Amino acid sequence: MKLLRYGAAGSERPGLLDGDGRIRDLSGIVDDIGGRWLADLSWTLSLDVAKLPVVEGEPRLGPCVAGTGKFICIGLNYADHAAESGLEVPPEPVIFMKATSAICGPNDDVVIPRGSTATDWEVELGVVIGKPAKYVSEAEALDHVAGYCVINDVSERDFQTKRSGQWTKGKSCDTFGPIGPWLVTRDEVADPQKLKMWLKVSGDTKQDGSSSTMVYGVAHCISYLSQFMTLHPGDVVSTGTPPGVGQGFKPPRYLKAGDVVELGIEGLGAQRQNVRADT
């Protein structure tokens, strides 16, 4: 099932995408797509989709999950991306946090922050946690996943690597976390390690990869994270990016006002963001 949230920022309503590509309203069934509604998705099994109200027009899509407590990212999780960054593949997953205030809708503008000269793109497979996960094994890790989504892990490389300290400051600017368009429930993704991924900037393909080339797969990442912290329903894990980011070009090619970023993952939908400068 493709769950989503639609409406004005801060006032989104829960919905789903039906088989004909129409948005159906779920507000009479659940209060939002998050928290306890993700911990137990059995309510989706009894839905009569044809009887749900059709949402007219083309409303804004919000981030596909509400109330995210933790936005966790895995760095350098594709060997070829590590190589283009001039870094070694890490012996264990690199973990960093992205501020939840960075989260925005999949088609909202990406805003280049003041002082930025190196705002970059990264298409990533997002994992949305369902059941709480603490000390889970790799074999049982996917049982704790509610579903999957597309994420653009927008990054300011100078803030990230040249301003001292940890990566978080280059990852957490407002609008640096477009999530969606949909949360595709786990039962509809046969293998999260066999998904094609792509990203274009102003019509030029920059990233063309697959989740099959991850160093540490989804199950490993969930199990690994759960050894250090409890993962809760609605938490989001962004699992890394394939090669083709702006930092890897010679010379680097970063986003500028007026660019249009389009990205998607097989079966999980696509995003489109206009890029503008902060004022």
- pLDDT per residue over 210-244, tens digit each? 999 999 999 999 999 999 999 999 999 999 999 99
Average confidence score pLDDT of the chain = 96
Mean pLDDT for the stretch of residues 29-51: 95
Q: And the tokens for 107?
A: 């088609």
pLDDT at position 83 = 79
Task: pLDDT band for 88, please (50, 70, 90 cuts).
Answer: confident
Residue 85 clears pLDDT 80, i.e. is over it:
no
Least confident of 78-92, 135-149, 180-194: 78-92
Amino acid in the structure at residue 66: A
Are 268 and 190 within 8 A, CB to CB?
Answer: no
**Span 254-262, average pLDDT:** 98
In contact, 78 and 184? CB cutoff 8 Å? no
Does the pLDDT of residue 82 top 80, yes or no? no
Q: Could you tell me the pLDDT band of residue 79, with boundaries at 50, 70 and 90?
A: confident
| Domain 63-277: CATH class, spelled out | alpha beta
Check residue 44 and give its pLDDT: 94
Mean pLDDT within 34-46: 93
Rg (CA), the chain: 18
User: What is this structure's pTM?
Assistant: 0.96
Tokens found for residue 152: 């653009």
Mean pLDDT of 15-20: 97
Mean pLDDT of 106-117: 97
Q: CB atoms < 10 A from the CB of 226, how many?
A: 21
Give the Å distances, CA to CA, from 36 to 16, 59, 129, 130: 17, 25, 11, 8
C-beta of residue 73 within 8 angstroms of C-beta of residue 12: no
Q: Residue 279 has what pLDDT? A: 84
Q: Is the pLDDT of residue 81 over 80?
A: no
Q: What percent of the chain has pLDDT over 90?
A: 91
pLDDT > 70: what percent of the chain?
100
Q: Which of 12-21, 84-93, 187-196 has the lowest mean pLDDT?
A: 84-93
Q: Give the pLDDT of residue 119.
A: 98
Task: Record the tokens describing residue 196, joined without a space.
Answer: 């094609």
